[in-house]
Amino acid sequence: MSARIVRSHSFILAWPVERAFPMFTPEGERAWAEGWNPRYVHPKDGRTEAGMVFTTGHGGEQTIWTMTRHDGANGIVQYVRTTPGNRTAVVLVQCAALGPSRTRVTVAYTLTSLGEAGERFMREWSEENYRDYIEGWKTALEKVTPTS
């Protein structure tokens, strides 16, 4: 049996969109996401492009990521991430300019369980827990890049 949930939350950064958007690429996340250490499968040099594949390991889980969309002109990056035996998700990040020095970042996860462990994970990922998780992104981002 599989379960599916959709979660979405937005926050505002006091940065221009040109500064915010690159922070949601695999290399950009190194600057602010604790423990984030992508290992590139394709392309090996980690060049940001649709179709790139990389893996991460965090909290005892190994996850396979594929960037399915990278649209800098519209501030959109999308990934499919799979933690084998647990869950898979489509992760969509959209950065929208709110004037010259503010950006609204919206992060949406569509998760599907791949078994009992994934179903447990999703039961714990309430709307409130998800909001707190994404607000943690904002807090981490603000620590590495001064607001303007």
Domain boundaries, the chain: 4-35+73-144
How many Å apart are CA 52 and CA 46, to the nearest integer?
Answer: 8
- Superfamily of domain 4-35+73-144, CATH level 4: START domain (3.30.530.20)
Which H or E element spans position 68?
A: strand 61-71
pLDDT single digits (tens) 91-143: 999 999 999 999 999 999 999 999 999 999 999 999 999 999 999 999 999 99
| Average confidence (pLDDT) over 64-82 | 97
Q: Rounded CA gap, 53 and 39, in Å?
A: 9
The tens digit of pLDDT for each residue in 24-53 reads 999 999 999 999 999 999 999 999 999 999
User: Confidence band (pLDDT; 50, 70, 90) for 2?
Assistant: low
- pLDDT for 148 equals 45
DSSP 9-32: EEEEESS-HHHHGGGGSHHHHTTT
